[in-house]
Amino acid sequence: MGAQTLRRGGALARGILAVGVLALLVVGIPWGLARYVGWPLPRRLPRIGEVVSFLASPLSTGMLLDALECALWVLWAAFAAAVLNVLGEAACLLPRLRTRVSRTGPLRVLAAALVSGVVLALTPTRDLHWALAVQKHPLADSGSPNSPWEAGISGRSLRGPDGVANDTNTTVVVRTPRNGIHDSLWRIAERRLGDGSLWPQIFELNRNRTQPDGGALTHPNLIQPGWILRLPVPSAPTPDDDHAGQKPGGSPNAGSPLPSSGSPTPTEHSASSSATNSDKRGNGSAPGVSLPDGALVGLGLATAIVVALVVVRRRRRMRYRPGSGRRDDVHFAPVIRALRQAQEKAPDERETPSGAPVLSEFGKPTHVVGAKEGRALAWDLARTRGLGLVGPGALDAARALLVQLLGEQRLPGQGEVELVVPAPDVSRLLGREASTLRPMGRLRVVADQDEALNVMEGELLSRARARHGQEGVSDTGWTELVLVATAQAMDERRLQAVLDNGSTLGMAGILIGQWPSGTTLRIREDGSVAVAVPADSEGAFAGARLFRLSTEDAGALVELLIEAEAATSEAQVPEPIHRHPTPEHPPDEEAVPRSTAQSHEPVVQVSVLGAVCLRYVPPDSPVAVGITNAFAHKQRELMAFLSLRQEGARRETVAATLWPQAPHSRPYNSLHATLSQVRRALRTVTHGGLTDVTVQSDSRYALDKDHVVVDLWEFRAALALSRQLVDDEERASAALHQAVDLYTGDFAEDVSAEWAETPREALRRDFLDAVSAVVRHVSRTDPRQALHLLERARERDTYNEAIYRDIARLQAQLGLLDAVRRTLELLKRSLAEIEEEPSPSTIGLCEALLRGHGGVSLRGDQA
């Protein structure tokens, strides 16, 4: 009772003060002006001459006072009108308990504060709950164009003395934009209902309901300031409900004033949206892969790239047509090779199996976006309601996040991640025109920003209806839809509504540019986070470094991921086996096979076509002695690398290729140590007959041609000779026969390093092209010999479909129909090893061959 009396006494005192100030401003100002200054304007209309004379005369003290008095009269009139307006609203409000939207300004706010003080003093104690709110909000929300009265009562059910609500539903007034942040259904549900995911209930309750301005709510993203929306459940009447800066146990309200520094408005973050460390399991793994060019990517992406690389290499190997001479697809970008090497060195250090996103403590998936304090940094993009990136490193970070999401593998039961990117942003981020990229299921490229918003809005409506059973669709396992675009080019109001309302429906945004409605990070050139706003995000990103990729690297990785996802069932038109290689190959350094060393000199035979093998031929014996076991694996790898470069390689190239992780202070120590070990082992196994098989000149290392014979050199020389003898078919065919005989296996089969993959595939294709040329020559006169050559090629490349097609043709030509069936079955078993199937064109060819010879269709149809 005492507290209530004190409150009542304070309200009465404020009311008396308000009455005094109102009387002073409304009555005192005109009385003082009339009493002490007088009327400033002339009492009759002046003549033209008097006006001209007045304007031409110098400014006097009297004229200045008259002008100030006129301004005071105008100001008083405006204030008096504001007081009358507020009194009219109060008179309308008290008996009818309703609100009305009107304009406001400093004078109107002052008038509302004074009038509300008077009303507070005159209102009985039992009705003070709404009057207190009326008094508070005009001062706390002076920037709002809404009526000061409705700021106190909107959003709650008003109750009379009997405690019964006068309206069956509570209401809320849509706020006007503040510092670029628009109100949205999600934000209204978050601050009024305590859960932003309840916004579809507000939308359904107010759908097509006429608003004060004559409009109606037809789309959840299109709400207008001043609209009065019904809420599905009543809220407890709290005086500062709409403008509280912090709820108990909650987070800062989205409508809080801007920090003094001008930072974007803080947004609400649940615990699941805060940054989490992916190594909470205690694995202590590295957070990412740093590349030589300064790029940083996650280990999960590195895993995905390695998997994609294996798939693409197998696909290209399967689809290569012997004789085509194609070599443009055997090389991969340096970033791909670097990721392969990094993954080989840390096969067990991954954020999660298969690079899947980290799960927060609330079970919601988050995405690894960078590194912090030696750990992986995860972030819930959806709950952030838009992640803006600014600063010199913003584009590199956006590229890395785009590629990271494309390569991300989800855990069982989770939906996929799909990206929506406008075509101009594809060019900006990947350095490639959108029209040059092949379609990818997880990358949806749209024409422009407007179409991107249309896609997001359409998906938002569909998911909102599905969640509430309007379409009978479950909301589990949704595809996470992420918009990657330039923020400045978007319709900010539509975009904010999409990201707000879609935050609980698996919809998120990565925006290039400042994004005040969500979280904005300023990224330095090295990817480190300089500033994070709002303030509740600063701690999560303090000291963090986001992933980053250059334009060239990001474009190469996206193209690899797209190719890996490409459908494997495209019909292919087989090339005839008699097609001759089309490209012109430049002659090798050595046009003809070099003769071996003189018989009185010791020789080391190096075989790299197949597993690396070394033999020693003493000067006094023609019998070669195997010495492979005397050399360690790295020493044999060095011999294989130097055999590829017949004229030698610079020391920097050798060291960087074979020892990429060597310390910068001592980059050549491993190379020099390995060369020393080779010499020592050679002296031991040859009993001093040879002390070295390498030569050094001007920082270049090469195998000694006087004491080393390499099968790869002879293979290349035979191919070069066949090209030089193009006009002499017999001699060219003999050279090709020699090349085919020399190819006893793929290059350095026992070397698994990434650097060997490209030359291995190129040499395999050289062999297949040589077989194709020989078959073309002999198939007219001896088809069985041609078939034997193709069988040899099949043994060397068991996954190449073109070889099987050529074998089937020759078998059908020889009348071996059962062999055609066996060939197809053998192809199926071989491709099953790599989880592939024969293409429709291959199956169709075999069917046609069997039909043409009275056979039975391979699919069970009668021929």
Quote the radius of gyration of the chain (alpha carbons, Å): 40
The residues, ordered by sequence, that sit 6+ positions from 571 with a Cβ below 8 Å of its Cβ are 839, 840, 841, 844
The DSSP symbol for 617 reads E
Is pLDDT above 70 for 718? yes
Write out pLDDT tens, residues 116-175. 667 666 655 444 333 333 333 333 333 333 333 333 333 333 333 333 333 445 788 888
Give the pLDDT confidence score for residue 749 in this predicted structure. Answer: 92
Share above pLDDT 90 across residues of the chain, in percent, rounded to a whole number: 20
Pairwise CA distance, residues 306 & 309, whole Å? 5
Kind plus residue range of the DSSP H or E element containing 152: helix 148-153
Among 97, 131, 138, smallest CA distance to 7 is for 131
Phi/psi of residue 694, nearest 5 degrees: -120, 155
Average pLDDT over residues 396-406: 92
What is the secondary structure of 15-44 as a DSSP string?
Answer: HHHHHHHHHIIIIIHHHHIIIII---S-SS
Question: Which pair of structure tokens corresponds to residue 599?
Answer: 């018989």
Give the pLDDT confidence score for residue 767 in this predicted structure. Answer: 92
Pairing of strands 708-710, 603-607: parallel
- The residue that leads in pLDDT, 320 or 509, is 509
Average pLDDT over residues 107-121: 70
Locate the DSSP E strands across 315-405: 367-372, 375-379, 387-390
At residue 564 the predicted structure's pLDDT band, cuts being 50, 70 and 90, is confident
Is pLDDT above 60 for 702? yes
3-state helix, strand, coil in the chain (%, to 5): 50, 10, 40
Q: What are the beta bridge partners of residue 474?
A: none
Give the pLDDT confidence score for residue 853 in this predicted structure. Answer: 54
Average pLDDT, the chain: 75
Decide: helix, strand or coil at residue 378.
strand
Residue 720 in contact with residue 587, Cβ under 8 Å?
yes
Neighbours of 474 (CB within 10 A): 9
Give the pLDDT confidence score for residue 78 in this predicted structure. Answer: 83
Is pLDDT above 50 for 575? no
Locate the DSSP E strands across 664-751: 694-697, 700-703, 708-710
Average pLDDT over residues 286-304: 81
| CATH fold for domain 732-852 | 1.25.40
Is pLDDT above 90 for 28? no
- The residue that leads in pLDDT, 478 or 841, is 841
* Candidate from 39-43, 186-190, 443-447 with smallest mean pLDDT: 39-43
Write out pLDDT tens, residues 742-784. 999 999 999 988 889 889 999 999 999 999 988 988 888 888 9
Is pLDDT above 90 for 421? yes
Is pLDDT above 70 for 650? yes
> Side chain identity at 797, as an amino acid letter?
D
Let me know how long the chain is. 863
Give the pLDDT confidence score for residue 60 in this predicted structure. Answer: 65
Write out pLDDT tens, residues 663-676. 878 888 899 899 99
Give the pLDDT confidence score for residue 605 in this predicted structure. Answer: 93
Neighbours of 569 (CB within 10 A): 11
Write out pLDDT tens, residues 347-384. 444 334 334 444 443 335 578 888 888 888 888 887 78
Residue 245 in contact with residue 256, Cβ under 8 Å?
yes
Highest mean pLDDT (candidates 84-93, 248-257, 548-557): 548-557
Give the pLDDT confidence score for residue 342 in this predicted structure. Answer: 75
Give the pLDDT confidence score for residue 763 in this predicted structure. Answer: 92
Is pLDDT above 70 for 684? yes
Decide: helix, strand or coil at residue 95.
helix
Is pLDDT above 70 for 581? no
Give the pLDDT confidence score for residue 585 in this predicted structure. Answer: 37
| CATH fold for domain 271-565 | Rossmann fold (3.40.50)
Phi/psi of residue 485, nearest 5 degrees: -160, 170
Per-residue CA distances from 860 to 452, 569, 818, 846, 855 (Å): 48, 20, 15, 13, 11
Is pLDDT above 70 for 592? no
At residue 510 the predicted structure's pLDDT band, cuts being 50, 70 and 90, is very high
Answer left, alpha or beta for residue 850, where phi above 0 means left and psi between -120 and 50 means alpha.
alpha
| CATH fold for domain 603-712 | Arc Repressor Mutant, subunit A (1.10.10)
Average pLDDT over residues 445-456: 90
pTM: 0.58
Per-residue CA distances from 265 to 180, 260, 499, 571, 674 (Å): 9, 11, 15, 55, 61
Pairwise CA distance, residues 701 & 638, whole Å? 11
Give the pLDDT confidence score for residue 863 in this predicted structure. Answer: 32
* Candidate from 138-147, 209-218, 730-739 with smallest mean pLDDT: 138-147
* Candidate from 480-484, 581-585, 645-649, 852-856 with smallest mean pLDDT: 581-585
Share above pLDDT 70 across residues of the chain, in percent, rounded to a whole number: 71
Residue 625 in contact with residue 730, Cβ under 8 Å?
no
Boundaries of every domain in the chain: 2-165, 169-233, 271-565, 603-712, 732-852
Give the pLDDT confidence score for residue 92 in this predicted structure. Answer: 52
Is pLDDT above 50 for 572? no
Token pair 């010791």 is at which residue?
Answer: 602
Q: Torsion over CA of 140, 142, 143 and 146, rounded to 10 degrees?
A: 100
Write out pLDDT tens, residues 248-291. 333 333 333 333 333 333 333 333 333 444 333 333 345 678 88
Is pLDDT above 50 for 571? no
